[in-house]
Chain A
Amino acid sequence: MTATTQRPAPPRWTGERRGAIGVVLLVAMVWSISGLDVTLDRLLGAPSDAWAILRQMIPPAFARVAARGAVGKVFESVYIAWIGTVIGAVLSLPLAFMAAHNVAPIWIRVPIRQLFNAIRAVPELILAVILIPITGLGPWAGTLAIGIHSIGTLGKWATESIESIDSGPIEAVESTGGRWVSSMRWAVFPQVMSTISSYWLFRFEINVRASAVLGMIGAGGVGSELVSHLVFRDFPAASAVLVLTVGVVLTIDTISASVRRRIITGSVGSDDSSRSSEALADLTGIKHK
Protein backbone atom coordinates (compact mmCIF):
# COMPACT_ATOMS: atom_id res chain seq x y z
CA MET A 1 0.00 0.00 0.00
CA THR A 2 2.55 2.59 -0.92
CA ALA A 3 0.43 5.65 -1.64
CA THR A 4 2.21 8.87 -2.43
CA THR A 5 1.70 11.16 0.54
CA GLN A 6 2.95 14.59 1.31
CA ARG A 7 5.78 15.23 3.73
CA PRO A 8 4.41 17.31 6.59
CA ALA A 9 6.07 20.47 7.82
CA PRO A 10 8.08 19.93 11.01
CA PRO A 11 6.49 21.42 14.13
CA ARG A 12 8.17 24.67 15.01
CA TRP A 13 8.83 24.43 18.63
CA THR A 14 10.65 21.14 19.44
CA GLY A 15 14.20 22.34 19.14
CA GLU A 16 13.40 25.74 20.58
CA ARG A 17 11.65 24.23 23.57
CA ARG A 18 14.65 22.13 24.43
CA GLY A 19 16.88 25.18 24.13
CA ALA A 20 14.59 27.21 26.35
CA ILE A 21 14.60 24.56 29.06
CA GLY A 22 18.38 24.39 28.91
CA VAL A 23 18.63 28.15 29.32
CA VAL A 24 16.24 28.12 32.28
CA LEU A 25 18.29 25.44 33.99
CA LEU A 26 21.51 27.32 33.35
CA VAL A 27 20.08 30.54 34.75
CA ALA A 28 18.77 28.68 37.79
CA MET A 29 22.17 27.18 38.41
CA VAL A 30 23.98 30.49 38.12
CA TRP A 31 21.47 32.26 40.34
CA SER A 32 21.60 29.63 43.03
CA ILE A 33 25.38 29.36 43.04
CA SER A 34 25.68 33.12 43.36
CA GLY A 35 23.98 32.98 46.71
CA LEU A 36 26.23 30.36 48.17
CA ASP A 37 29.26 32.45 49.04
CA VAL A 38 31.29 30.30 46.72
CA THR A 39 34.65 31.57 45.75
CA LEU A 40 36.95 29.90 43.30
CA ASP A 41 39.56 28.90 45.84
CA ARG A 42 36.86 27.45 48.07
CA LEU A 43 35.56 25.43 45.17
CA LEU A 44 38.97 24.17 44.22
CA GLY A 45 40.03 23.64 47.80
CA ALA A 46 36.98 21.63 48.76
CA PRO A 47 38.01 18.29 47.25
CA SER A 48 41.45 18.30 48.85
CA ASP A 49 40.01 19.35 52.22
CA ALA A 50 37.49 16.55 51.99
CA TRP A 51 40.21 14.10 50.97
CA ALA A 52 42.38 15.05 53.94
CA ILE A 53 39.53 14.40 56.31
CA LEU A 54 38.64 11.17 54.57
CA ARG A 55 42.18 9.89 55.01
CA GLN A 56 42.03 10.65 58.71
CA MET A 57 38.85 8.67 59.01
CA ILE A 58 40.56 5.41 58.18
CA PRO A 59 40.93 3.27 60.18
CA PRO A 60 37.83 3.89 62.32
CA ALA A 61 38.51 3.89 66.07
CA PHE A 62 35.99 1.28 67.11
CA ALA A 63 37.53 0.35 70.45
CA ARG A 64 37.70 3.90 71.71
CA VAL A 65 34.19 4.66 70.60
CA ALA A 66 32.75 1.50 72.11
CA ALA A 67 34.41 2.29 75.41
CA ARG A 68 32.54 5.57 75.46
CA GLY A 69 29.26 3.77 75.21
CA ALA A 70 28.54 4.50 71.56
CA VAL A 71 27.02 1.04 71.05
CA GLY A 72 24.51 1.73 73.79
CA LYS A 73 23.69 5.02 72.11
CA VAL A 74 23.06 3.30 68.83
CA PHE A 75 20.62 0.98 70.52
CA GLU A 76 19.03 3.97 72.17
CA SER A 77 18.36 5.37 68.72
CA VAL A 78 16.67 2.12 67.77
CA TYR A 79 14.49 2.19 70.90
CA ILE A 80 13.53 5.79 70.19
CA ALA A 81 12.57 4.90 66.63
CA TRP A 82 10.63 1.87 67.79
CA ILE A 83 8.55 3.57 70.46
CA GLY A 84 8.09 6.61 68.25
CA THR A 85 6.74 4.38 65.48
CA VAL A 86 4.49 2.55 67.94
CA ILE A 87 3.06 5.83 69.21
CA GLY A 88 2.56 7.04 65.66
CA ALA A 89 0.95 3.79 64.55
CA VAL A 90 -1.42 3.46 67.51
CA LEU A 91 -2.60 7.06 67.37
CA SER A 92 -2.79 7.32 63.60
CA LEU A 93 -4.89 4.22 62.98
CA PRO A 94 -8.21 5.39 64.45
CA LEU A 95 -7.61 8.84 63.01
CA ALA A 96 -7.01 7.37 59.58
CA PHE A 97 -10.38 5.67 59.66
CA MET A 98 -11.94 8.99 60.52
CA ALA A 99 -10.22 10.63 57.58
CA ALA A 100 -11.23 8.20 54.85
CA HIS A 101 -13.93 9.36 52.51
CA ASN A 102 -15.52 5.93 52.25
CA VAL A 103 -15.83 5.70 56.00
CA ALA A 104 -16.34 9.06 57.65
CA PRO A 105 -18.59 12.02 56.87
CA ILE A 106 -17.09 15.19 55.49
CA TRP A 107 -17.27 17.29 58.61
CA ILE A 108 -15.01 14.83 60.45
CA ARG A 109 -12.61 13.86 57.76
CA VAL A 110 -11.63 17.30 56.47
CA PRO A 111 -10.29 18.57 59.81
CA ILE A 112 -8.47 15.30 60.42
CA ARG A 113 -6.86 15.39 56.99
CA GLN A 114 -5.74 18.95 57.61
CA LEU A 115 -4.37 17.84 60.96
CA PHE A 116 -2.31 15.18 59.18
CA ASN A 117 -1.02 17.74 56.68
CA ALA A 118 -0.11 20.19 59.38
CA ILE A 119 1.78 17.61 61.40
CA ARG A 120 3.59 16.32 58.32
CA ALA A 121 4.70 19.80 57.45
CA VAL A 122 6.75 20.10 60.62
CA PRO A 123 10.01 18.17 60.42
CA GLU A 124 10.89 15.99 63.40
CA LEU A 125 13.87 18.15 64.20
CA ILE A 126 11.73 21.23 64.59
CA LEU A 127 9.28 19.29 66.73
CA ALA A 128 12.12 18.19 68.93
CA VAL A 129 13.35 21.75 69.15
CA ILE A 130 9.93 22.82 70.37
CA LEU A 131 9.59 19.92 72.77
CA ILE A 132 13.00 20.09 74.46
CA PRO A 133 12.26 23.16 76.56
CA ILE A 134 9.22 21.31 77.86
CA THR A 135 10.41 17.73 78.30
CA GLY A 136 14.03 18.50 78.86
CA LEU A 137 16.92 17.01 76.92
CA GLY A 138 17.06 13.27 76.43
CA PRO A 139 15.49 10.41 74.51
CA TRP A 140 11.91 11.15 75.47
CA ALA A 141 11.94 14.40 73.51
CA GLY A 142 13.17 12.54 70.43
CA THR A 143 10.62 9.79 70.89
CA LEU A 144 7.76 12.24 71.15
CA ALA A 145 8.99 14.19 68.14
CA ILE A 146 9.18 11.07 66.01
CA GLY A 147 5.90 9.79 67.35
CA ILE A 148 3.98 12.95 66.62
CA HIS A 149 5.47 13.37 63.15
CA SER A 150 4.73 9.74 62.34
CA ILE A 151 1.07 10.32 63.13
CA GLY A 152 1.01 12.62 60.14
CA THR A 153 2.75 10.36 57.61
CA LEU A 154 1.28 7.08 58.80
CA GLY A 155 -2.13 8.66 58.99
CA LYS A 156 -1.96 9.86 55.40
CA TRP A 157 -0.74 6.50 54.08
CA ALA A 158 -3.31 4.57 56.09
CA THR A 159 -6.11 6.81 54.84
CA GLU A 160 -5.05 6.24 51.24
CA SER A 161 -5.00 2.52 51.93
CA ILE A 162 -8.47 2.54 53.40
CA GLU A 163 -9.84 4.59 50.56
CA SER A 164 -8.56 2.20 47.93
CA ILE A 165 -10.27 -0.93 49.21
CA ASP A 166 -12.96 -2.92 47.54
CA SER A 167 -16.34 -1.67 48.75
CA GLY A 168 -18.01 -5.03 48.24
CA PRO A 169 -17.46 -6.40 51.72
CA ILE A 170 -18.70 -3.16 53.27
CA GLU A 171 -21.94 -3.50 51.35
CA ALA A 172 -22.17 -7.09 52.44
CA VAL A 173 -21.97 -6.17 56.11
CA GLU A 174 -24.48 -3.37 55.70
CA SER A 175 -26.87 -5.70 53.92
CA THR A 176 -26.86 -8.03 56.90
CA GLY A 177 -27.84 -5.12 59.09
CA GLY A 178 -24.42 -4.75 60.74
CA ARG A 179 -23.45 -1.51 62.42
CA TRP A 180 -20.64 0.79 61.37
CA VAL A 181 -18.19 -0.70 63.84
CA SER A 182 -18.85 -4.22 62.59
CA SER A 183 -18.34 -2.99 59.07
CA MET A 184 -14.97 -1.64 60.04
CA ARG A 185 -13.94 -4.76 61.92
CA TRP A 186 -14.98 -7.33 59.32
CA ALA A 187 -15.00 -5.60 55.97
CA VAL A 188 -12.34 -2.92 56.10
CA PHE A 189 -9.83 -4.08 58.68
CA PRO A 190 -8.76 -7.39 57.12
CA GLN A 191 -8.25 -5.80 53.73
CA VAL A 192 -6.04 -2.97 54.85
CA MET A 193 -4.14 -4.31 57.81
CA SER A 194 -1.44 -6.05 55.82
CA THR A 195 -0.70 -2.94 53.77
CA ILE A 196 -0.87 -0.66 56.79
CA SER A 197 1.41 -2.81 58.90
CA SER A 198 3.96 -2.87 56.12
CA TYR A 199 3.78 0.93 56.12
CA TRP A 200 4.46 0.86 59.84
CA LEU A 201 7.63 -1.15 59.26
CA PHE A 202 8.69 1.15 56.44
CA ARG A 203 8.22 4.15 58.70
CA PHE A 204 10.30 2.40 61.36
CA GLU A 205 13.18 2.17 58.88
CA ILE A 206 12.96 5.89 58.21
CA ASN A 207 12.59 6.69 61.89
CA VAL A 208 15.81 4.92 62.79
CA ARG A 209 17.63 7.44 60.62
CA ALA A 210 15.60 10.28 62.09
CA SER A 211 16.38 9.28 65.64
CA ALA A 212 20.09 9.14 64.87
CA VAL A 213 19.79 12.69 63.63
CA LEU A 214 17.81 13.89 66.63
CA GLY A 215 20.71 12.98 68.81
CA MET A 216 22.54 15.86 67.24
CA ILE A 217 20.42 18.34 69.14
CA GLY A 218 20.41 16.35 72.33
CA ALA A 219 17.19 14.44 71.91
CA GLY A 220 18.80 11.09 72.57
CA GLY A 221 20.64 8.58 70.46
CA VAL A 222 23.90 8.32 68.62
CA GLY A 223 23.80 11.72 66.92
CA SER A 224 25.32 13.42 69.94
CA GLU A 225 28.34 11.14 69.75
CA LEU A 226 28.92 12.01 66.12
CA VAL A 227 28.65 15.71 66.79
CA SER A 228 31.06 15.70 69.71
CA HIS A 229 33.66 13.74 67.77
CA LEU A 230 33.35 16.05 64.78
CA VAL A 231 33.53 19.16 66.91
CA PHE A 232 36.78 17.94 68.42
CA ARG A 233 37.87 16.87 64.95
CA ASP A 234 38.42 13.32 66.16
CA PHE A 235 37.81 11.81 62.75
CA PRO A 236 38.66 8.18 63.40
CA ALA A 237 36.09 8.17 66.19
CA ALA A 238 33.54 9.93 63.99
CA SER A 239 33.95 7.38 61.23
CA ALA A 240 33.56 4.58 63.78
CA VAL A 241 30.24 6.05 64.86
CA LEU A 242 29.24 6.39 61.21
CA VAL A 243 30.09 2.81 60.38
CA LEU A 244 28.15 1.59 63.43
CA THR A 245 25.14 3.65 62.45
CA VAL A 246 25.22 2.58 58.81
CA GLY A 247 25.59 -1.05 59.87
CA VAL A 248 22.56 -0.91 62.15
CA VAL A 249 20.48 0.95 59.58
CA LEU A 250 21.33 -1.52 56.81
CA THR A 251 20.57 -4.48 59.06
CA ILE A 252 17.23 -3.10 60.11
CA ASP A 253 16.42 -2.17 56.51
CA THR A 254 17.15 -5.69 55.30
CA ILE A 255 15.18 -7.45 58.03
CA SER A 256 12.30 -5.04 57.70
CA ALA A 257 12.21 -5.39 53.92
CA SER A 258 11.96 -9.16 54.07
CA VAL A 259 9.28 -9.03 56.78
CA ARG A 260 7.33 -6.51 54.76
CA ARG A 261 7.54 -8.74 51.71
CA ARG A 262 6.21 -11.65 53.65
CA ILE A 263 3.37 -9.60 55.07
CA ILE A 264 2.31 -8.43 51.64
CA THR A 265 2.45 -11.89 50.10
CA GLY A 266 0.43 -13.18 52.99
CA SER A 267 2.62 -15.87 54.44
CA VAL A 268 2.62 -14.34 57.91
CA GLY A 269 -0.22 -15.60 60.05
CA SER A 270 -1.33 -18.26 57.55
CA ASP A 271 -3.11 -21.25 59.03
CA ASP A 272 -2.01 -24.86 59.30
CA SER A 273 -3.92 -26.19 56.31
CA SER A 274 -1.08 -25.82 53.86
CA ARG A 275 1.22 -27.76 56.16
CA SER A 276 -1.20 -30.60 56.63
CA SER A 277 -1.76 -30.96 52.91
CA GLU A 278 2.00 -31.22 52.47
CA ALA A 279 2.08 -33.98 55.09
CA LEU A 280 -0.73 -35.80 53.32
CA ALA A 281 1.08 -35.67 50.01
CA ASP A 282 4.21 -37.14 51.57
CA LEU A 283 2.21 -39.93 53.14
CA THR A 284 0.24 -41.00 50.09
CA GLY A 285 2.89 -40.23 47.48
CA ILE A 286 0.39 -38.16 45.51
CA LYS A 287 1.66 -34.76 44.57
CA HIS A 288 -0.91 -32.02 44.35
CA LYS A 289 -0.02 -28.88 42.48
Chain B
Amino acid sequence: MTPTPGQSTRPERPRLRARTVGIAAALMAFSIFAAREVGFDPSTFWEVWSNPLWGKFWPIPWDWVFDSRNVLQPFVETLQIATISTILGCGLALPISFAMSSLTTPNRPTYLVSRAVMNVVRAVPDLFWAKLMVTAIGIGAFAGAWALTIFSLAVMVKLFSETVDGADPGPLEAARAAGGRHAPSLRTGILPTVFPDYVAHALYVFELNVRASVVLGLVGAGGIGRVLEAQRQFFRFDRVLGMLVIIFVVVWVIEQVSVSLRKRLI
Protein backbone atom coordinates (compact mmCIF):
# COMPACT_ATOMS: atom_id res chain seq x y z
CA MET B 1 0.00 0.00 0.00
CA THR B 2 1.73 3.17 -1.10
CA PRO B 3 1.46 5.92 1.49
CA THR B 4 -0.28 9.07 0.29
CA PRO B 5 1.21 12.44 1.28
CA GLY B 6 0.23 13.38 4.80
CA GLN B 7 -0.67 9.86 5.82
CA SER B 8 2.75 8.24 6.40
CA THR B 9 4.44 8.75 9.71
CA ARG B 10 7.06 11.36 9.20
CA PRO B 11 9.99 11.01 11.58
CA GLU B 12 10.41 13.71 14.15
CA ARG B 13 12.93 16.30 13.18
CA PRO B 14 16.00 15.42 15.23
CA ARG B 15 16.49 18.05 17.84
CA LEU B 16 19.86 19.07 19.06
CA ARG B 17 20.54 16.79 21.98
CA ALA B 18 20.74 18.49 25.30
CA ARG B 19 24.06 16.86 25.84
CA THR B 20 25.64 18.38 22.73
CA VAL B 21 24.47 21.85 23.69
CA GLY B 22 25.76 21.34 27.21
CA ILE B 23 29.20 20.27 25.98
CA ALA B 24 29.44 23.24 23.62
CA ALA B 25 28.49 25.64 26.38
CA ALA B 26 31.00 24.13 28.77
CA LEU B 27 33.77 24.41 26.19
CA MET B 28 32.90 28.05 25.57
CA ALA B 29 32.91 28.83 29.27
CA PHE B 30 36.23 27.06 29.71
CA SER B 31 37.71 28.97 26.81
CA ILE B 32 36.67 32.30 28.23
CA PHE B 33 38.06 31.36 31.64
CA ALA B 34 41.32 30.13 30.17
CA ALA B 35 41.64 33.20 27.99
CA ARG B 36 41.46 35.41 31.05
CA GLU B 37 44.04 33.28 32.83
CA VAL B 38 46.58 33.60 30.07
CA GLY B 39 46.06 37.28 29.67
CA PHE B 40 44.36 37.25 26.32
CA ASP B 41 45.07 40.60 24.80
CA PRO B 42 43.90 41.17 21.24
CA SER B 43 45.55 44.55 21.16
CA THR B 44 48.82 42.69 20.91
CA PHE B 45 47.92 41.73 17.39
CA TRP B 46 48.37 45.23 16.11
CA GLU B 47 50.79 46.41 18.76
CA VAL B 48 53.13 43.76 17.42
CA TRP B 49 53.55 45.56 14.13
CA SER B 50 54.18 48.99 15.51
CA ASN B 51 56.69 48.00 18.15
CA PRO B 52 59.95 49.92 17.74
CA LEU B 53 61.89 46.78 18.63
CA TRP B 54 61.43 45.61 15.06
CA GLY B 55 64.07 48.08 14.03
CA LYS B 56 66.66 46.10 15.87
CA PHE B 57 66.15 43.14 13.55
CA TRP B 58 67.51 45.07 10.56
CA PRO B 59 69.84 45.31 8.72
CA ILE B 60 71.20 41.78 8.77
CA PRO B 61 74.96 41.76 9.31
CA TRP B 62 75.84 39.28 6.61
CA ASP B 63 79.58 39.48 7.16
CA TRP B 64 79.12 38.34 10.73
CA VAL B 65 76.71 35.62 9.68
CA PHE B 66 78.99 34.18 7.07
CA ASP B 67 82.02 34.19 9.30
CA SER B 68 82.49 30.48 9.69
CA ARG B 69 83.25 30.55 13.38
CA ASN B 70 79.96 32.19 14.22
CA VAL B 71 77.42 30.21 12.30
CA LEU B 72 78.94 27.50 10.14
CA GLN B 73 80.75 25.53 12.81
CA PRO B 74 77.87 25.51 15.27
CA PHE B 75 75.69 24.35 12.43
CA VAL B 76 78.02 21.47 11.72
CA GLU B 77 77.74 20.61 15.38
CA THR B 78 73.95 20.70 15.01
CA LEU B 79 74.15 18.27 12.11
CA GLN B 80 76.38 15.97 14.07
CA ILE B 81 73.99 15.96 16.99
CA ALA B 82 71.10 15.24 14.64
CA THR B 83 72.96 12.39 12.93
CA ILE B 84 74.03 10.48 16.01
CA SER B 85 70.65 10.97 17.68
CA THR B 86 68.84 9.67 14.64
CA ILE B 87 71.07 6.62 14.34
CA LEU B 88 70.91 5.71 18.02
CA GLY B 89 67.27 6.62 18.56
CA CYS B 90 65.97 4.90 15.45
CA GLY B 91 68.21 1.92 16.07
CA LEU B 92 66.71 1.41 19.51
CA ALA B 93 63.23 2.06 18.14
CA LEU B 94 63.37 -1.02 15.93
CA PRO B 95 63.30 -3.72 18.61
CA ILE B 96 61.09 -1.61 20.87
CA SER B 97 58.50 -1.15 18.14
CA PHE B 98 58.48 -4.88 17.56
CA ALA B 99 58.00 -5.44 21.28
CA MET B 100 55.10 -3.00 21.30
CA SER B 101 53.09 -4.59 18.53
CA SER B 102 50.79 -7.49 19.28
CA LEU B 103 51.78 -8.98 15.93
CA THR B 104 55.48 -9.24 16.66
CA THR B 105 55.87 -9.20 20.42
CA PRO B 106 57.65 -12.22 21.92
CA ASN B 107 55.40 -12.46 24.97
CA ARG B 108 52.74 -10.59 26.88
CA PRO B 109 54.87 -9.08 29.68
CA THR B 110 57.28 -7.59 27.14
CA TYR B 111 54.32 -6.14 25.27
CA LEU B 112 52.79 -4.50 28.32
CA VAL B 113 56.04 -3.19 29.77
CA SER B 114 57.28 -1.71 26.51
CA ARG B 115 53.98 0.04 25.87
CA ALA B 116 53.82 1.46 29.39
CA VAL B 117 57.40 2.70 29.31
CA MET B 118 57.00 4.32 25.91
CA ASN B 119 53.78 6.04 26.95
CA VAL B 120 55.57 7.69 29.84
CA VAL B 121 58.62 8.59 27.75
CA ARG B 122 56.41 10.25 25.16
CA ALA B 123 54.45 12.12 27.79
CA VAL B 124 57.57 14.01 28.89
CA PRO B 125 57.98 17.12 26.72
CA ASP B 126 61.12 16.83 24.61
CA LEU B 127 62.85 19.86 26.00
CA PHE B 128 62.31 18.67 29.52
CA TRP B 129 64.49 15.74 28.54
CA ALA B 130 67.04 18.19 27.19
CA LYS B 131 67.12 20.19 30.38
CA LEU B 132 67.43 17.01 32.42
CA MET B 133 70.33 15.87 30.30
CA VAL B 134 72.04 19.21 30.55
CA THR B 135 71.68 19.15 34.30
CA ALA B 136 72.93 15.62 34.59
CA ILE B 137 75.70 15.71 32.03
CA GLY B 138 76.56 19.34 31.71
CA ILE B 139 76.15 21.89 28.99
CA GLY B 140 77.15 21.01 25.50
CA ALA B 141 76.56 18.85 22.49
CA PHE B 142 76.93 15.61 24.41
CA ALA B 143 73.84 16.38 26.48
CA GLY B 144 71.99 17.53 23.40
CA ALA B 145 72.74 14.26 21.66
CA TRP B 146 71.31 12.25 24.52
CA ALA B 147 68.21 14.40 24.68
CA LEU B 148 67.59 14.13 20.96
CA THR B 149 68.20 10.38 21.04
CA ILE B 150 65.30 10.03 23.43
CA PHE B 151 63.24 12.38 21.28
CA SER B 152 64.07 10.34 18.15
CA LEU B 153 63.21 7.15 19.96
CA ALA B 154 59.80 8.52 20.96
CA VAL B 155 58.86 9.79 17.51
CA MET B 156 60.21 6.77 15.66
CA VAL B 157 58.44 4.31 17.92
CA LYS B 158 55.16 6.09 17.33
CA LEU B 159 55.55 6.08 13.55
CA PHE B 160 57.10 2.66 13.14
CA SER B 161 54.84 0.70 15.49
CA GLU B 162 51.91 1.88 13.41
CA THR B 163 53.65 0.48 10.35
CA VAL B 164 54.32 -2.83 12.05
CA ASP B 165 50.73 -3.11 13.24
CA GLY B 166 49.54 -2.74 9.67
CA ALA B 167 51.96 -5.25 8.15
CA ASP B 168 50.87 -8.49 6.47
CA PRO B 169 51.05 -11.23 9.09
CA GLY B 170 51.09 -14.03 6.50
CA PRO B 171 54.85 -14.48 5.96
CA LEU B 172 55.37 -14.35 9.73
CA GLU B 173 52.98 -17.26 10.14
CA ALA B 174 54.87 -19.12 7.43
CA ALA B 175 58.17 -18.55 9.22
CA ARG B 176 56.76 -19.84 12.49
CA ALA B 177 55.19 -22.81 10.71
CA ALA B 178 58.62 -23.71 9.38
CA GLY B 179 59.92 -23.89 12.91
CA GLY B 180 61.73 -20.57 13.11
CA ARG B 181 62.61 -18.93 16.41
CA HIS B 182 61.33 -15.47 17.26
CA ALA B 183 64.07 -13.17 16.00
CA PRO B 184 64.80 -15.03 12.76
CA SER B 185 61.06 -15.23 12.03
CA LEU B 186 60.75 -11.45 12.41
CA ARG B 187 63.86 -10.87 10.35
CA THR B 188 62.73 -13.01 7.41
CA GLY B 189 58.97 -12.65 7.70
CA ILE B 190 58.28 -9.03 8.65
CA LEU B 191 61.42 -6.94 8.27
CA PRO B 192 61.71 -6.94 4.48
CA THR B 193 58.11 -5.75 4.23
CA VAL B 194 58.44 -2.87 6.71
CA PHE B 195 62.01 -1.84 6.03
CA PRO B 196 61.35 0.82 3.36
CA ASP B 197 58.89 2.53 5.71
CA TYR B 198 61.48 2.31 8.47
CA VAL B 199 64.07 4.12 6.41
CA ALA B 200 61.55 6.73 5.30
CA HIS B 201 60.55 7.38 8.89
CA ALA B 202 64.21 7.62 9.91
CA LEU B 203 64.85 10.28 7.28
CA TYR B 204 61.87 12.22 8.56
CA VAL B 205 63.19 11.92 12.13
CA PHE B 206 66.55 13.27 10.97
CA GLU B 207 64.76 16.30 9.55
CA LEU B 208 62.92 16.83 12.81
CA ASN B 209 66.17 16.49 14.72
CA VAL B 210 67.89 19.21 12.71
CA ARG B 211 65.02 21.55 13.48
CA ALA B 212 64.88 20.47 17.10
CA SER B 213 68.56 20.96 17.77
CA VAL B 214 68.12 24.60 16.88
CA VAL B 215 65.75 24.84 19.76
CA LEU B 216 67.85 22.64 21.99
CA GLY B 217 70.54 25.23 22.05
CA LEU B 218 68.21 27.53 23.92
CA VAL B 219 68.56 25.32 26.95
CA GLY B 220 72.28 25.05 26.50
CA ALA B 221 72.45 21.74 24.74
CA GLY B 222 74.77 22.78 22.00
CA GLY B 223 74.59 23.47 18.33
CA ILE B 224 73.36 26.51 16.51
CA GLY B 225 70.74 27.17 19.16
CA ARG B 226 73.37 28.09 21.69
CA VAL B 227 74.69 30.84 19.49
CA LEU B 228 71.12 31.94 18.86
CA GLU B 229 70.41 32.18 22.56
CA ALA B 230 73.65 34.01 23.27
CA GLN B 231 72.94 36.63 20.62
CA ARG B 232 69.39 37.00 21.84
CA GLN B 233 70.55 37.70 25.35
CA PHE B 234 72.78 40.46 24.01
CA PHE B 235 69.77 41.85 22.15
CA ARG B 236 71.57 41.44 18.83
CA PHE B 237 68.33 40.65 17.05
CA ASP B 238 69.85 41.48 13.68
CA ARG B 239 72.25 38.59 14.06
CA VAL B 240 69.41 36.41 15.33
CA LEU B 241 67.41 37.14 12.21
CA GLY B 242 70.38 36.41 9.99
CA MET B 243 70.91 33.08 11.64
CA LEU B 244 67.23 32.24 11.36
CA VAL B 245 67.35 32.91 7.64
CA ILE B 246 70.31 30.58 7.19
CA ILE B 247 68.64 27.93 9.35
CA PHE B 248 65.45 28.23 7.37
CA VAL B 249 67.28 27.72 4.08
CA VAL B 250 69.28 24.71 5.28
CA VAL B 251 66.22 23.05 6.82
CA TRP B 252 64.31 23.61 3.62
CA VAL B 253 67.08 21.99 1.56
CA ILE B 254 67.25 19.00 3.88
CA GLU B 255 63.48 18.68 3.69
CA GLN B 256 63.50 18.63 -0.11
CA VAL B 257 66.22 15.99 -0.22
CA SER B 258 64.44 13.96 2.41
CA VAL B 259 61.10 14.12 0.61
CA SER B 260 62.56 12.98 -2.68
CA LEU B 261 64.51 10.15 -1.02
CA ARG B 262 61.40 9.03 0.79
CA LYS B 263 59.38 9.02 -2.41
CA ARG B 264 61.85 6.60 -3.92
CA LEU B 265 61.49 4.24 -1.02
CA ILE B 266 57.74 3.85 -0.94
Contact = CB atoms under 8 A, between A and B. Distances in A.
B175 interface: no
Interface string A209-250: 110110011001001001100100100000000100110011
Q: Size range of the interface on B?
A: 35 or more
A38 B142 contact: yes
Contact of B135 (A83, A230, A245, A253): A230
Contacts of B41: 135, 140
B39 A269 contact: no
B38 A139 contact: yes
A4 interface: no
Given A35-B77, A129-B218, A216-B219, A249 B11 contact: no
Contacts of A212: 125, 128
Taking chain B's interface residues, is the majority helix, strand, or loop, or is none over half, making it mixed? Answer: helix
Contacts of A230: 131-132, 135
Interface stretch (A23-31, A93-101, A181-189): A23-31
Contacts of B145: 32, 36
A80 interface: yes
A32 B47 contact: no
A223 B136 CA distance: 17
Given A134-B51, A272-B15, A82 B142 contact: no
Given A138-B39, A249-B123, A226 B131 contact: yes
Nearest to B146: A46
Contact of B142 (A42, A121, A135): A42
A91 B142 CA distance: 40
A255 interface: no
Contact of B38 (A83, A223, A246): A83
Q: Which of B35, B87, B125 has the most CB of A within 10 A?
A: B125
A79 interface: yes
Contacts of A138: 39
A126 B127 CA distance: 13
A245 B128 contact: yes
B63 interface: no
A210 B40 contact: no
A204 B14 CA distance: 31
B156 interface: no
A229 B81 CA distance: 27
A29 B87 contact: yes
A138 B39 CA distance: 8
Interface residues of A, number: 63
A186 B211 CA distance: 40
Interface in B14-32: 14-15, 17, 20, 30-31
Interface of B: 11-12, 14-15, 17, 20, 30-31, 33-35, 37-41, 44, 47-48, 51, 53, 76-77, 79-81, 83-84, 87, 119-120, 123-128, 131-132, 135-137, 140-142, 145-146, 211-212, 214-215, 218-219, 222, 228, 232, 237, 240, 244, 248, 251-252
Given A35-B77, A36-B222, A80-B38, 18 more contacts: A29-B83, A32-B79, A32-B81, A36-B140, A46-B142, A53-B135, A79-B34, A79-B38, A83-B31, A83-B40, A121-B252, A126-B244, A140-B39, A216-B219, A223-B128, A245-B124, A246-B123, A272-B15
17 contacts: A28-B83, A31-B83, A32-B83, A35-B77, A36-B77, A36-B80, A37-B140, A46-B146, A82-B30, A82-B31, A121-B211, A135-B44, A135-B48, A213-B126, A213-B128, A230-B132, A242-B128
